[in-house]
A = this chain, B = another copy of it.
Amino acid sequence: MRTHPMKLVTIVCEAHAKVVVTHLLSEVGAHGYTLFAVEGDGSRGKRPADIPEFANIQIEVIVPPAVAEQLLEKLGNDFFPRYAMVAFESEVRVLRKEKF
């Protein structure tokens, strides 16, 4: 079956940023996302995930390369200075490229 290259952008951030980040996703043109609660440790200390207000979430979004670039650009400029956050992209291959 033919697969097509896409980018998977993964964002780990404080749960409070959920609304603004998912808003950004639809702004840059992502057609969906997947999200779940995680625990974390990083430069800003442990985030133990037992109370939702201070928890971390991980957001995964599959987008075409151009959208990924734009997304990372905005994250780096507007979000990194403000929110406890890590973001990275990787190469994936999907079946229905028109879906993303």
Interface residues of chain A, those whose CB is within 8 Å of chain B, are 1, 3, 6, 8, 10, 12, 22, 31-43, 56, 58, 62, 69, 72-73, 75-77, 80, 86-96, 99
Contact = CB atoms under 8 A, between A and B. Distances in A.
A61 to B, nearest CB: 10
Main secondary structure of the interface of A (DSSP, over half): strand
A54 to B, nearest CB: 15
Identical chains bound together, number: 3
A36 B35 contact: no
A80 B56 contact: no
B33 A72 contact: no
Given A35-B39, A73-B1, A92 B88 contact: yes
